[in-house]
Amino acid sequence: MNKAIFWDLLGTLGGSSHTLINNNFEFFDHAIPALQKATENNYLNIIITNQSHIAHNRLTLEEYNDSLKKLIIRLEDKGIKITEVYTCPHAKKDNCQCKKPQPLLVNQAIKKYDLNQNESFIIGDSGKNDMLLANNSNMKSILVLTGEGIKSLTDSRQLWSEMRPTHIAEDSLDAVNKIVLFL
């Protein structure tokens, strides 16, 4: 069996909610060493992201795929392999089954990559999306304090009050350090 880290993209590895639309996404400084360390420790890196901007026509699917391709190439240049990117392009009103925090895409990945759920993690900055996704897919979770992380723990805490993250980390690198340390 394999183990994986499911990474949220925006607010966790870089950028913020509008950076793909504005075409100015940058990785956070800690994201590259975090992904490298995850790779060194035999975690598959999987990105899982809600992109309702596509449904709202703020970004075409083609523009999104172009941006994504550039990001992946930048990571490959640093020796980082992204196993797969799972995207929900829908709006909330579409009532799809792939939008975080629903576990459909994670469950697909578990089957496709023969993942051991006990050894895999979901890392993100959103309590109501990423942490509830971990809860809904029976996986360990790490909330990072970048992006909306602080807001998730304060103003938005009531939206995911039924669970606690396995760990809370300063940023993506601190998150991987905690995974390696506590394993």
Nearer to Mg ion, 13 or 110 (CB): 13
Q: Let me know if 81 is exposed, middle or buried by CB neighbors in 10 A (0-12, 13-18, 19+).
A: exposed
How far apart CA 87 and CA 63 sit, in angstroms, is: 14
Nearer to Mg ion, 126 or 172 (CB): 126
Shortest reach from residue 151's CB to Zn ion, in Å: 23
The Cβ of residue 97 has, within 10 Å, a number of other Cβ atoms equal to 11
Shortest reach from residue 65's CB to Mg ion, in Å: 19
Q: Among Zn ion, Mg ion, none, what binds residue 88 when CB lies within 5 to 8 Å by partner kind?
A: Zn ion
Tokens 């939206």 -> residue: 159
| Residues in the chain, overall count | 183
Nearer to Zn ion, 50 or 67 (CB): 50
The residues binding Mg ion (CB under 5 A) are: 8, 10-11, 125-126
> For residues 84 and 46, is the Cβ–Cβ distance under 8 A?
yes
Nearer to Mg ion, 10 or 32 (CB): 10
**Is 94 part of any known ligand binding site?**
no
**Is 98 part of any known ligand binding site?**
yes
Query: 93 vs 18, 51, 87, 99, 118, CA distance in Å?
Result: 20, 13, 17, 11, 33
Query: 149 vs 10, 86, 117, 154, CA distance in Å?
Result: 11, 21, 24, 9
Q: Among Mg ion, Zn ion, none, what binds residue 99 when CB lies within 5 to 8 Å by partner kind?
A: Zn ion
Nearer to Mg ion, 112 or 157 (CB): 157
The residues binding Zn ion (CB under 5 A) are: 88, 90, 96, 98-99
**Is 66 part of any known ligand binding site?**
no
Q: Among Mg ion, Zn ion, none, what binds residue 10 when CB lies within 5 to 8 Å by partner kind?
A: Mg ion
Binding residue numbers for Mg(2+): 8, 125
Binding residue numbers for Zn(2+): 88, 90, 96, 98
Binding residue numbers: 8, 88, 90, 96, 98, 125
